[in-house]
Amino acid sequence: MTYARISGTGSYLPERILTNKELESTVDTTDQWIRERTGIRQRHIVADGESTCDLAERASRSALESAQKHPEDVDLIIVGTTTPDKIYPATACRLQSRLGVFGCPAFDVQAVCTGFIYALGIAEKFIQSGSAKTALVIGADTHSRLLDWTDRTTCVLFGDGAGAVVLEASDEPGIYSSHLHADGRYEPLLYVDGGVPRGKGEISEGNAYTKMRGNEVFKIAVRTLGRIVDEVLEANRMEKSDLDWLIPHQANIRIIEATARKLSMPMDRVVVTIEDQGNTSAASVPLALDVAVRDGRIKRGDKLLLEAFGGGFTWGAALVRY
């Protein structure tokens, strides 16, 4: 049987750092308020002219180098993103051109903050079926461009970035299982109020801002992620104690802590980057993975639970042996 394993990781964060202290001067909030409710101290923001594809390219080249692969080895590219450079072509196609990889499938997946988990699950199926041998899977977002910077309930939460992994065919399990879900009934709780104009006279430009009913999203996210933990463990006949690391979506420190409690996992076995990066949407899980791989915390053979929750609502998880 053919399995899929992660052979390399990479990430990239824009140079510009926006601190809570800076936000205090532009919106009615405080550093203490943001830290206590979210765990965020700062976030990275793209420069003018810097695109989602720019971030994805930097993360991809880093992942390829980590995996000791060249762009021409890649036969599948999937980008999880909510902020494509253009309506079309897909950011994955633009990335493919920059890398000089021609002819292989390249497409975007839009599942908001769960985008990377969705992309990873899809790439795993391509490799299992024999349709691909080396996949480049990216989560990249410039979510700061979807923010109303006068709305203190949303503008303090998000940052920009990209994370990537190289996924290769293997004789031994790397990804044990992936679990993907969605429920469109919850659209009114978290959405962007903008899109392609639906008729003459409608102009969406300027209205593309994130809208969120934070308390309700928080409660549903905690319940939903708790259930998917059980689903993953049951599917793989594992116990909580079999897991070495939790790599969660970095949305809110309280959600992360609730998931850790569900797993009876101490916080020193949870990869947390939210303090310095904020919520980087589809990029947050691969960014956190790359940080922990590069600083030596995560080692080959470790069992990792990756999970995320996002607008849609979408949610998903993957159990990975690194």
The second-level CATH assignment, the architecture, of 3-172 is 3-Layer(aba) Sandwich (3.40)
Contact 187, 23 (CB under 8 A): no
46 SS3 class: coil
Residue 318 in this model has a pLDDT that exceeds 60:
yes
pTM, two decimal places: 0.97
Amino acid letter, 181: H
The second-level CATH assignment, the architecture, of 176-321 is 3-Layer(aba) Sandwich (3.40)
216 SS3 class: helix
Question: So what's the pLDDT on residue 95?
Answer: 98
Question: Kind of pairing, strands 134-142 and 160-170?
Answer: antiparallel
Residue 201 in this model has a pLDDT that exceeds 70:
no
Question: So what's the pLDDT on residue 224?
Answer: 97
311-154-199-141 Cα dihedral, nearest 10 degrees: -60
Q: Pick the closest to residue 292 from 9, 36, 2 (CA basis).
A: 9
Mean pLDDT along residues 282-310: 98
CA–CA dist 111, 4 (Å, integer): 22
Residue 40 in this model has a pLDDT that exceeds 60:
yes
Fold match between domain 3-172 and domain 176-321? yes
Amino acid letter, 154: T
Residue 81 is given by DSSP the state -
Residue 199 in this model has a pLDDT that exceeds 80:
no
CA–CA dist 259, 269 (Å, integer): 12
pLDDT tier for residue 270 given thresholds of 50, 70 and 90: very high
Residue 2 in this model has a pLDDT that exceeds 80:
yes
pLDDT tier for residue 202 given thresholds of 50, 70 and 90: low
Instruction: Supply the mean pLDDT for the chain.
Output: 96
Residue 282 in this model has a pLDDT that exceeds 80:
yes
Mean pLDDT along residues 89-111: 98
Residue 198 in this model has a pLDDT that exceeds 80:
no
Residue positions annotated with a catalytic role:
113, 249, 279
Domain ranges within the chain, ordered by starting residue:
3-172, 176-321
Mean pLDDT along residues 255-284: 98
pLDDT tier for residue 197 given thresholds of 50, 70 and 90: confident
- Taking only the tens place, the pLDDT of each residue in 124-165 is 999 999 999 999 999 999 999 999 999 999 999 999 999 999
Mean pLDDT along residues 23-30: 95
Question: So what's the pLDDT on residue 194?
Answer: 82
